[in-house]
Structure 1
Amino acid sequence: MSGRIAKQGKLALIAVCLFATCTGLATAEHARRWRQSTYDEFLKGTTRGIAVRSDGRLELAPKFTQLADADASYLWALKLDSKGTLYASGGSPAKVFRLDASGKAATVFESNELSAQAIAFDAKGTLYVATSPDGKVYRVSASGEKNVFFDAKTKYIWDIAFGPDGVLYVATGDKGQIFSVAPDGKSEVFYASDEAHIRVLAFDGKGSLIVGTEPSGRVLRLRKAKGTGTAEGFVLYETPKREVTALAVAQDGSIFAAAIGERQHNAAVSPGAAPSVTTTTITSTGNVTMVSPAQGTGQPQTPFVAFPPLISSGIYKIASDGAPEELWTSRDDVVYSLGLGGDGRLLAGLGNSGALLAIDGRGVFAQLAKAGSAQITGIISNGAGRIFLCTANPGKLIALGPEYEPEGTYESRSFDTQLFSQWGRVEWWSPPAGPAKNGSNNKEPRLEIFVRSGNTEDPGKEWSKWHGPYSTSGAQLDAPAARFVQWKAVIHDGRPGDGIEWVSLAYEPKNVAPVIDGIALQDPGVRAQGQPNLATGAAPAAVLKFPPAPTQGGAAGTVIVSQTQNPAAKFEMPPQGTIQKGYQSVVWTAHDDNEDELKYAVYFRGEGEKEWKLLKDNLEQRFYSFDATTLADGAYYLKIVASDAASNPP
């Protein structure tokens, strides 16, 4: 920076010259490390046969196989008959599919209603289908003939289930009733709820009916009252959500419930309001919107949407002694289905990401795979430990396990180092190898790492090839120097415990010169000081002029700087200004893309002179004041020099 000082001490700004010095070659910049070790970081990558665990681990996933693309926009429910044959229901229009031994889906039921909402089999293996809205329960013979078994005469049939006594229980809305239908078709109201909708049904090990409701998000246990055909209800748990979407009962008596939506507590209800007209809207995608206050329920009604936009959801466990606990919660995903895996883990089907979660008894969850559809709406398992899934948008049938994938691949997101960088070593940690799940004695490396680099944010054909494989942690990388980098892990052979806890990649950015972003020459007679002078009789305060703030950027992601690197930038107290005759002050801002420690020097020269003279060096603060009356008469220029030499020793 240059300024002109006249004999009378007046300073006139002639020009501004900004200087910075860069000391050392690129190798003088200390190493940094990009490390990935958390669930959120790993989810940003791409998985193929790899599960991502919430405790920050990548491991092989159960084998994921698509069985069939159903001729339906969405599938709602899955059931296995007594022979283990898989059936799935959905729409639109209402259809039920049977998967044959060759994996082909054959239509065994079809009607003009919007959706086949639920299916069930009686003790003889006869298929029953519930349609909705304005639907009925149909009985379907082995030859495919259908007849109406029960007409609920209500807007929605949400679920059906056969009890141990052979009675069919039908959950409905918008009046919140459950009907019991005997084998001969005689029906009665089994339970009348204060809720608008009974959404899901399940039976516990003692034969009691477990139900989930909407809009208060309750889980109830129903037991038949003595001497009557009706039931008495007891609320096991009122979730903090609005709608219970799925239930699962474990062998130890624990009940798992999924619930979605924010519940409006203490909502005002106006008594004696005039009845309104029910309006039902059906979209081309199968969504159903109903607007009507539920008659006699005492609950305000809001539109029901089959596939709601992203709203909050949670999964809750009710222990056999009745104690509830929250297992999982999200503000980004909706839980549509629950099931139990052969390994005892709870399975949850999500929307609108189409992901499948597995949650163990410790609350650790893993994203096993993505279905390639927007929602996983049904989960069921057979006696051999195989899991079946149905999906919506589009409707698919998928099998999971019990065997594990023979090989899994994980590709990280691309990482921006912010500067052109050389690559160092790649390190990782994984558990010790166990015996192969497929019984083989393969001695090949079970884990291999590959790395590639490029100078565009999105990896593509303009990047380098994949370099590797690296099978030993600490290997030196061969990828060419660039700004962006990406790693890939391949896990082989499907052995227990195969996985990765963390991956760390070392790099050295090219050392670049610091940048002085702005400079502000103060008015004559203003002195800048690091600490305000609070002594009695102190000089009056003056307002300092500050230059623009630095434009320094930062690399996104987890970056670890080695111990030899300078610590994080120190907080610098802004200077304070006071009025002091004869003083001249200058304030500047600067940054270093390498985050090096900077020191500053201030030089001056007279007008017409060529040699710069040092006024002050080794300055850590970004301002300087001096007594201009000590200078000879004339005009002068100032120069500010920033140096990163302290962080880059020779």
Structure 2
Amino acid sequence: MTVRARLAACLFFLNAAALAGGSAVWESHTYEDFLKGRFEGVALTRDGRLILAPALETLADTGDAGIWSVATAPDGTVYFAGGHRGRLWRYRKGSKPEMVWQAPQPEIFALATDSRGRLFAATSPNGKIFLFENGKASEYFDPKATYIWSLKIAPDGILYAGTGSEGKVYRIPKAGEGEVYYETGQTNVTALGLDPQGRLLAGTEPNGILYRIEARGKAFALYDANLQEIRAIVPGARGETYVAALGGSQAQKQAQAAVSAATSTAPAGVVTTSITVTAEADARAQSGIEVKPKADAPKPTATAMPEAQATAAPAEIPGMEKAAIYRINPDGMIETVWSSKEENILDLAIKGGDIAFSTDRQGRIYQLSSQLSSALLLETREGETTRLIQAGGELLAATSNSGKLLRIGEPAKQGRYISAVHDAGNAARWGRIEWRGAGSLIFRTRSGNSARPDATWSDWSEPITDPARNQIPSPPARYVQWLADLPQNAAVDAVSISYQAPNGKPQVRSIQVLPQWTALPPKLSAPAPSTSSYSITVTDTGEAAPTTSAGTPSQVVPRSGTPQILISWQADDPDNDRLLYKLEYRAASESRWIELRKNIAENSVLEDAERFADGRYIFRVTANDSASNQPDQVKRAELLSAPVLIDLTPPQVTARVEGRGAFIDASDSASPLRRAEASIDGGPWQPLAATDGVIDGRKETFEFKAPSTQGEISVVIRVIDAAGNAGLTRLVLR
């Protein structure tokens, strides 16, 4: 964005924010803001501008659940296939698409064409690789694998196949002849590609490892991604390689769909559950990169189908990365050039000097520039855009949920952008809609009280086209949404909606009263004099009086601190208004409130506990939002604490000596007694029992018996109440 454009944006939003007190503004002006909306013939540039997107032309609507694979022949013929009916389609420019073959299996997960225009098709489950030539299909190779996920023709014309569920790569030099070229130790080889030097690359699942296969049985692990599946591999124009990875295993979803289709007589819809990875396959996946060849396992019969497992889809953790694009540079350095926490990436394609990639969010297609900035090229409005391919200088896209082949052409003549829904937090009155852009833009709004627009929402408003007459006509409600219709040469840079929501009432959620002990600051002692002080009294006889000593004063051990009470509370406001508080208290037996603090912004107060007499007290916190609202709109809320016992007085303790023992009487005026202990000659504290067997009253009598040893002993008795106050007495037994 240019300096002038940035300045205009700042002025625009300063004007939008200059509203009456208490009003709010919903702003959309960045790439991230607009990306939350819905795009119908509209694209989003890297700097956050809405413009017309390339037009979409439907070349074929197969009626199938999805298209899984696409390939182009040297003469420009496009082949595409999918599920769940195993149908192969052909499209030639200027003619209608036609179905040219139906496989014996329900899925065709991979297609590849060689320089002679021959087409190879891989079927699943328990399928084979077929050669389609001159309008006829014939079996080319049977890898004896449950799934065949990927095919690739090397520069020397040799065909390679990536399979599952044993994670093997096959090298197939000619019909009927093939060999295991490399065993990855993973469950599935989900992608095959070539690097700029023509070396074979293999991407796997479930550990997301990318291999460079250098010879039979020899490979180098280029990258171990933190995502589950390597989905696509394409070489770049400057010696780099781009790799797409996703977290929710697409291979497992497609495998389960294939099993469902194979075991059902009716066409199946798109299945989003995953299959269960067997313990044997999982052990191989976890065992590391190098896996020694194993003896061939018993092969399934031609009619055997894998058993469907009723299992949950791979777990997706909110906030965690779901997909990424990695760039492998010629020097081997790997960097993440794009990632998402909301969308799974499904394919990559070179588009000029940029990278086009597709996702499972409304079938979006993005464009990543050589400077690594992304832009939303368009939304196909299908569930997923599964494959991208360049054909005759044009970008083609295949989709699922509705198996279509689409051509991406020149910019559309018109388009529509529908914003995300905005939550005002409460029923709001709408103000103005303001915008900045180019061309003859048309805006509409609607509102409602359900989080998702439905039949209860208002209709779209009449067009708003004049910036001077931009009052929003939609009725007051909690939620609002806007749309923009873009004609040719139009663009949207920023949109704002102002609104006034009723002031929400704050809420005081809790009050907590805790005791504290604050240490007293140390006192500075006076320096000792260098000589002893004394006085001399002179009598009238001239003789000196006897010298009198000043004596040695007793040392006083001062109290180390003062008791305090911390009163804290939690409060919030639905509008995030700044809150001010008033703190009051009263004795539980009284009705008059006494103010402790007023108009404080902090949510805690530390008070000297000694300002309260012993007893039970109730505290009240009142919150108000006067700092953020006009006086007539201020809202208040209050909360009372539970009764709080304040007891600073220790129990009264007396002792009655009887021989080599004593009876101790203890009482407390505020709280019950909890514990009594005795220490003999400064020794450890030993518990004393109440004469009635239970220490639970405000008055108790305890008995102390001296040990059998003869001689004088000093005994300190300590009685502690429920507030932790300790009453002490000392006695001497002889």
Q: Distance in 1 between matches of 2:103 and 2:312?
A: 22
Paired residue type of 2:159: L
Measure how far apart 1:236 and its partner are. Answer: 2.9
Does structure 1 retain, via aligned residues, the 8 Å contact 2:361–2:383?
yes
Aligned partners of 1:50 and 1:60 also within 8 Å:
yes
Contact kept, 8 Å, 1:180 with 1:190, in 2: the verdict is: yes
Q: Deviations over 1:175-203 (max 9, x none)?
A: 44333323455334444444443321222
Deviates more, 1:114-123 or 1:327-336: 327-336
Q: Which residue identity lines up with residue 160 of structure 2 in the other structure?
A: Y
Q: In structure 2, do the counterparts of structure 1 residues 363 and 29 end up closer, same or farther at CA, with 3 Å as the change threshold? A: same
1:488 aligns with 2:488: no
The equivalent position to 1:392 in structure 2, one of 400, 414, 429, is: 400
Matches within 5 A, 1:435-584: 445-453=439-447, 463=458, 465-470=460-465, 472=467, 476-479=470-473, 482-484=476-478, 485-494=480-489, 498-500=491-493, 502-509=494-501, 541=564, 552-554=573-575, 571-577=601-607, 578-580=609-611
Supply the AA of the counterpart residue of 1:77.
S
1:446 & 1:45 partners in 2: Cα distance? 21
Partner of 1:18: none
Residue matched to 2:296: none
Corresponding residue of 2:342: 332
Tell me what 1:589 maps to: 622
Q: Aligned equivalents of 2:573 and 2:171: distance in 1? A: 69
In structure 1, the residue corresponding to 2:247 is in which secondary structure?
strand
Distance 2:452 2:202 in 1: 48
- Give distance in 1, aligned partners of 2:312 and 2:71: 21
Asked which structure has the greater CA Rg, the reply is 2
User: Could you say what the CA RMSD is over the residues aligned between the two structures, in angstroms?
Assistant: 4.7
Paired position in structure 2 for 1:37 = 29
Residues 509 and 345 of structure 1: CA distance in aligned 2, closer, same or farther (over 3 Å) = same
Q: Given residue 224 of structure 2, which amino acid in structure 1 is its aligned partner?
A: E
Shift of 1:316: 0.6
CA contact (8 A) 2:55 2:412 kept: yes
Distance in 2, Cα, partners of 1:514 & 1:222: 66
Opposite residue 572 of structure 1, the aligned amino acid is E
The Cα offsets for residues 558-589 of structure 1, whole Å up to 9 and x where unpaired, read as: x9xxxxxxxxx984232345453699997342
Q: Which residue of 91, 112, 127 corresponds with 1:99?
A: 91
Superposition deviation, residue 325 in structure 1:
0.5
Shift of 1:257: 0.7
1:181 to 172, 176, 181: 172
Equivalent residue of 2:34, what SS? helix
Q: Which residue of 1 aligns with 2:259?
A: 282
Q: CA deviation at 1:317?
A: 0.8
Q: For 1:198, what is the secondary structure of its paired residue? A: strand
List per-residue Cα deviations over 1:401-446 (Å, max 9, x = no partner).
Answer: 3x1122221122343434565544433344xx6xxxxxxxxxxx34
Q: Which runs of 5+ in 1 are unaligned?
A: 1-26, 225-229, 264-278, 434-444, 560-568, 602-618, 624-650
Q: How much has 1:112 moved relative to structure 2?
A: 2.2
Q: 1:572 to 1:483 in 2, by over 3 A?
A: farther
The change in CA–CA distance for 1:355 and 1:600 in structure 2 (over 3 A counts) is: closer
SS at match of 1:282: helix
Assess, with a 3 A threshold, how the Cα gap between structure 1 residues 542 and 56 changes in structure 2: closer, same or farther. same
Closer/same/farther in 2, CA of residues 600 and 466 from structure 1, 3 Å limit: closer
Q: Which residue of 1 aligns with 2:365?
A: 356
Aligned-partner SS, 1:154: coil
Q: Which residue of 1 aligns with 2:658?
A: none
Say which SS state the counterpart of residue 470 (structure 1) adopts. Answer: coil
Task: State the AA in 1 paired with 2:205.
Answer: E
Task: Name which of structure 1's ranges 447-456 and 172-181 shifts more when overlaid on structure 2.
Answer: 447-456
Among 280, 298, 306, the alignment partner of 1:293 is 280
- 2:241 counterpart (251, 255, 261): 255
Contact map agreement 1:259 1:313 (CA 8 A) in 2:
yes
Distance 2:131 2:626 in 1: 72
> Quick one: which amino acid aligns to residue 580 of structure 1?
R
Contact 1:127/1:140 (8 A) holds in 2: yes
Between the aligned residues of both structures, percent identity stands at: 26
d(CA) in 2 for partners of 1:205 and 1:540? Answer: 77
Give the distance between the partners of 1:300 and 1:88, measured in 2 at CA: 36
Q: Determine whether 1:116 maps to 2:125.
A: no
Aligned-partner Cα distance in 1 for 2:510–2:190: 67
Structure 2, unmatched stretches of 5+, are 1-18, 250-255, 262-267, 289-306, 317-321, 522-558, 578-598, 641-734
Q: Which residue of 2 aligns with 1:382?
A: 391
Shift of 1:109: 1.9
Q: Does the Cα contact within 8 Å between 2:84 and 2:258 map onto a contact in 1? A: no
Q: CA deviation at 1:463?
A: 2.5
Indicate if the aligned counterparts of 1:518 and 1:588 stay in contact, CA closer than 8 A.
Answer: no
- Per-residue Cα deviation, 1:27-51 (whole angstroms, up to 9, x for no partner): 9635432212344543443321123
Cα distance between partner residues in 2 of 1:481 and 1:518: 33
The CA deviation at 1:493 is: 0.9
1:643 alignment partner in structure 2: none
Aligned-residue offset at 1:138: 0.9
Q: Check conservation: 1:517, 1:591, Cα contact below 8 A.
A: no
From the superposition, tell whether residues 309 and 88 of structure 1 become closer, same or farther in structure 2 (CA, over 3 Å). Answer: farther
CA contact under 8 A between 1:260 and 1:314: conserved in structure 2?
Answer: yes
Cα 1:150–1:429 change in 2 (3 A) is: same
- Which moves more between the two structures, 104-113 or 403-412? 104-113
Tell me by how many angstroms 1:297 deviates: 5.3
Instruction: Find the partner of 1:319 among 329, 333, 340.
Output: 329
Q: How does 1:57-136 map to 2 (within 5 A)?
A: 57-101=49-93, 104-136=96-128
| More displaced 10-residue stretch of structure 1: 373-382 or 307-316 | 307-316
CA deviation after TM superposition for structure 1 residue 130, in Å: 1.1
C-alpha separation in 1, matches of 2:370 and 2:24: 38
Single out whichever of 309-318 and 375-384 deviates more from structure 2. Answer: 309-318
> Could you say which residue in structure 2 is the equivalent of 1:428?
435
Correspondence for 1:406: 413
TM-score if structure 1 supplies the norm length? 0.67
Instruction: Tell me the distance in 2 between the aligned counterparts of 1:519 and 1:141.
Output: 77
CA distance in 2, matches of 1:157, 1:138: 11
Q: Summarize the Cα distance change of 1:131–1:545 in structure 2 as closer, same or farther, 3 Å threshold.
A: closer
Count of residue pairs the alignment pairs up? 517
Aligned-partner SS, 1:575? strand
**For the residues of structure 1 that align with 2:48 and 2:571, how far apart are their CA atoms?**
36
Q: Deviations over 1:109-142 (max 9, x none)?
A: 2122231121122222222211123221111232
Q: Structure 1 residues 585 and 76, CA, compared in 2 at 3 Å: closer, same or farther?
A: closer
> Is contact 1:55-1:364 (8 Å) kept?
no
What SS does structure 1 have at the residue aligned with 2:228? strand
Q: Which residue of 2 aligns with 1:605?
A: none
Q: Distance in 2 between matches of 1:545 and 1:206?
A: 68
Determine the C-alpha separation between the residues in 1 that align with 2:627 and 2:95.
58
Instruction: Confirm or deny: 8 A CA contact 2:445 2:483 kept in the other structure.
Output: yes
* Structure 1 position 159 matched with structure 2 position 150: yes
Shift of 1:296: 11
The answer (yes or no) to whether the contact 2:347–2:357 under 8 Å persists in 1 is: yes
> What SS does the aligned partner of 1:479 have?
coil
Change (3 A) 1:34 1:152: same
Q: Is 1:366 paired with 2:375?
A: yes
Partner of 2:351: 341
